[in-house]
Amino acid sequence: MAYLQNNGWKDRPGAIAGVVAVHALVGYALVTGLSFTKIVETVKNPKGIFVPEVKLPPPPPPPDPTPQPTEAVVSPKMVAPKPPVDLNPARPPVDTTPVIIPVPDPLPYVVPRPTPSANATIPPAPRPAFDAVGAVPRGNPGSWVTVDDYRSSWINRELTGVARFRLDIAANGRVSNCTITGSSGHPELDKATCALLTSRARFDPAKDTSGAKVAGTYSSAVRWELPD
């Protein structure tokens, strides 16, 4: 035997009330959840750990608003337009003449100019009347400086060497100046060389192409050796 029970919503008032209560709670939770803020609870140090207090520097003051310099208004440079280029300028008139102007010959010549022949030869230049000669020593140059000119102090010090010299010879044949061109290594010997040559040397003076006596030069050397 089967029983079929069919209850309508009017037979379940408790269920309806429960559904209404659930919807009300859900709506309340939604409304209060939107305005919920987090609660932060300050908890004291439970374990006694020392945490140093760090003081943060105050924020820098805001910069003073400074007015930005305005760009100077520069007027554009005025440039005058270039005049149009005339491709066919008017040239000044040139006065021409049919007369041919002769060009002068830079070299003078005898009129009429002689015609050179094929066998013509150029005459040689005239030779000078005399040949130029240099100054020539008179007598034996070896007698200008001798062993007798060696001083005893130079012999004791054993001063030796070769003194090279150049003499300036005047037109009268005498020495006007003496120059040591190569030292003997000892100033005493060099000085004695020029002193002896200036006082003893004599020359036949130099002559030019006309035969006139002129100044000249003479170069040689004196060897200073210890006497035996």
CATH number, domain containing residue 164:
3.30.2420
pLDDT digits (tens, 9 = 90+) for 95-105: 555 555 555 55
Confidence at residue 24, expressed as pLDDT on a 0 to 100 scale:
73
Domain holding 192, by residue range, is: 143-224
Does 186 fall in a domain?
yes
Neighbours of 218 (CB within 10 A): 19
Q: How confident is the model at residue 209 (pLDDT cuts 50, 70, 90)?
A: confident
pTM for this prediction? 0.44
| Phi, psi (rounded to 5 degrees) for 206 | -70, 155
Does 181 fall in a domain?
yes
Does 21 fall in a domain?
no
Q: Is residue 190 within 8 Å of 184, Cβ to Cβ?
A: yes
**Which value, in Å, is the radius of gyration of the alpha carbons in the chain?**
67
Greater confidence, 226 or 21?
A: 226
When divided into structural domains, the chain yields a total of: 1
Mean pLDDT, the chain, integer: 74
DSSP label at 85?
P
Does 125 fall in a domain?
no
Does 44 fall in a domain?
no
Residue 45: pLDDT over 50: yes
Q: What percent of the chain has pLDDT over 70?
A: 51
pLDDT digits (tens, 9 = 90+) for 93-148: 655 555 555 555 555 555 555 566 656 677 776 676 667 888 999 989 989 998 89
Q: How confident is the model at residue 211 (pLDDT cuts 50, 70, 90)?
A: confident
Does 161 fall in a domain?
yes
Amino acid at 188: E
Residue 13: pLDDT over 70: no
Amino acid at 206: A
**CB neighbour class for 26 (10 Å; exposed up to 12, middle 13-18, buried from 19):** exposed
Q: Is residue 158 within 8 Å of 148, Cβ to Cβ?
A: no
Does 205 fall in a domain?
yes
Report how far residue 142's alpha carbon sits from residue 221's, in angstroms, rounded to the nearest whole number: 10
The H-or-E segment that residue 31 falls in is helix 13-34
Q: Measuring CA to CA, how many Å separate 41 from each of 36, 38, 50, 53, 214?
A: 15, 10, 20, 19, 132
Does 37 fall in a domain?
no
- 56's tokens: 């943060």
